[in-house]
Each structure stands twice: as structure tokens, then as C-alpha cells.
Amino acid sequence: MRVAVRFGYLGDHFAGSQLQPAGRTVEGEFIDACVRLGLFSDRRDARVAFAGRTDRGVHARGQVAALSTSEGEQTVRYLTHHLPADIWCNGIAVVPDAFHPRKAALARTYRYYFHPRGHDLAVMDQAAAVFHGTHDFSRFARLSPGKDPRRTVISCRVAGTGDLGVITVTAESFLWHMVRCIASALLAAGEGSGTAEGIRARLTGADSRPVPPASPYGLVLWDVDCGVHWDPVEPSERSARRMAGLCDYHGVMRGIIRDLPGRGG
């Protein structure tokens, strides 16, 4: 049976998603959990494949992996309990034997969260529309030599969510650092140090200066549309507890840091 698993993770404590000889990786932890659960013993035999790579510090809500196993669907549902607390499954689907999540991906959506201190979200949303369509993203990416710099952005929007701002970008596929460079350009537009015209000039090549990428910690691989209908899986209680604890931790740290620098009494 070939099965696709949709899963999320917090990127803080990973040296990126992709398997590498040294350092804790998302793929490494995912594969180890599968082996512990007995889904397979060799990742090559199981043809384990992932929809995409994320850099060090980047999070995911909808990363997709595929694997082949002789175990049943019910066993795969236990995978979430074998993963470390900072990775959790949220969907599974039985897929055709040839399924590869990267090749099956019709569109990917990233979200970039930011603190909207002094940023005009409406101006950012207008500037975001400039990215729609097919463009040469050379100025908005770290390109490997010979790589086609053209990509098609299906949607790019900016909105508020709670006390944060969020940029949501959907494209058929992305270049390396592309979302972080788009975010950086939109943040500049939102604080008045950049404009929609400046973005257009860089997309047409009239301005050849590269845009620097925004910091990674705000970036989330939100969704990969593989044309699959996901059967929902709950995160483990351990993972849910850890996430609630981390949410409190970050909220408390923010409050403390806000109060600390004052010289006060």
C-alpha cells in the first residue's frame, strides 16, 4: 500500500527539513518514527518522498510525505504518536502506487507571519497583487546556475490575523528563498521604504538589484495541494501539550521583554 501523510512541524530545533549526515532534520525524525512503528525498515525500499524542502527555522503545517508499507492504514494513523512532540500528523490518504508528492503538487501555499508595527496592511495587500502571474523571480530568489527563474504566482494576499500580519502566497512552485524575498519587499512597501512600482521594476528587470530575504522564523509551509483528499488525524496529546506550553512560553517571553528594558523604579 502507498500512503501519503500530511504533517506539520515547528522549525526551531531542526537544521532544516532535508535529510543530512549531521544535525537533526525533519525527514530524519519522520523516517526514524516510521521505522520505530514498523512501517518499513529501509527508506529506499519504502520510496519515502517529501513534497518540498524547508530551510532551517522554517515551520510547516501542511508538509506531505509518501511511503510504501505492508502495514494497514490504521497502523499509519499511529505514526503521530511515534513522532517527536514538535512534529505531528494531521492527515493521511491512500494513494496510487506511483504517487510522488513533489510531482503531484499542483500548488503550494506559504504563510509569512510578521509583527505589523508601523506597517500599512492595505498598502501591502495592493503591492502583493503585483506578484500575481508569471514573472522572472531572479531578484526575489537565491538561484542555482541554470535554474529557470520564471514562476507562476496564483495568489498573494496580505491580511491581519489576531495581533499579527500574515502574507499568504500560493504558486505552482517556488524558487529558493522566494517567499522570504517576497515578504521582505512587501514589508518594505508596508513601512514606506519600498513601493509596488519598485517591486514591478524588479520583476521586469528594470531594476536588477536583488531583494534580501526576510528572517526565516515567520515562514510556514502552509499547504501543498497534491489533489489528495485527506482523512484527518489528530496530533498526539503529548504534541498538543507541548504546543500549548510553547505558545504560553512565547507569550510570556514577549510580555517580559516588552517590560524589561525600562529603567523604572
Catalytic sites, residue numbers: 55
Question: Cα–Cα distance between 164 and 188 in angstroms, integer?
Answer: 16
Residue 106 sits in the site that holds a second copy (CB under 8 A): no
State the burial class of residue 134 (Cβ atoms within 10 Å of its Cβ: 0-12, 13-18, 19+).
exposed
Q: Are strands 59-68 and 219-225 parallel, antiparallel or unpaired?
A: parallel
What is the torsion angle, in degrees rounded to the nearest 10, for the CA atoms of residue 177, residue 179, residue 182 and residue 187? -110
User: Which of 41, 42, 117, 144 lies at the binding interface for a second copy (CB under 8 A)?
Assistant: 117
Q: How far is CA 249 from the centre of its chain?
A: 22
Residue 98 sits in the site that holds a second copy (CB under 8 A): no
Task: Specify the 3-state DSSP secondary structure of 18.
Answer: coil
Residue 263 sits in the site that holds a second copy (CB under 8 A): yes
Specify the amino acid at residue 151.
R
Of 138, 212, 127, 213, the closest CA to residue 175 belongs to: 138
Pick 45 or 234: Cβ nearer a second copy: 234
Per-residue binding letters, 135-174, with a second copy (x by CB under 8 A): --------------------------xxxx----------
Stretch that binds a second copy, among 47-55, 69-77, 129-137, 244-252 (CB under 8 A): 244-252
Residue 261 sits in the site that holds a second copy (CB under 8 A): yes
Residue 259 sits in the site that holds a second copy (CB under 8 A): yes
Question: Cα–Cα distance between 243 and 99 in angstroms, integer?
Answer: 31
90, 221 Cβ separation under 8 angstroms: no
User: Which of 14, 50, 88, 110 lies at the binding interface for a second copy (CB under 8 A)?
Assistant: 88
Place of cell 489528495: 228
In the region spanning residues 174 to 233, those forming contacts with a second copy, defined by CB under 8 A, are: 217-218, 220, 223, 230, 232-233
Residue 250 sits in the site that holds a second copy (CB under 8 A): yes
Q: How far is the CB of 101 from a second copy (least distance, A)?
A: 16
Question: Cα–Cα distance between 51 and 64 in angstroms, integer?
Answer: 5
Residue 256 sits in the site that holds a second copy (CB under 8 A): yes
Task: Specify the 3-state DSSP secondary structure of 161.
Answer: strand
Pick 61 or 81: Cβ nearer a second copy: 61
User: Which of 91, 94, 152, 200 lies at the binding interface for a second copy (CB under 8 A)?
Assistant: 91
Q: Interface residues with a second copy (CB under 8 A)?
A: 6, 8, 10, 12, 59, 61-62, 88, 90-91, 113-115, 117, 161-164, 217-218, 220, 223, 230, 232-235, 239-240, 243, 246-265
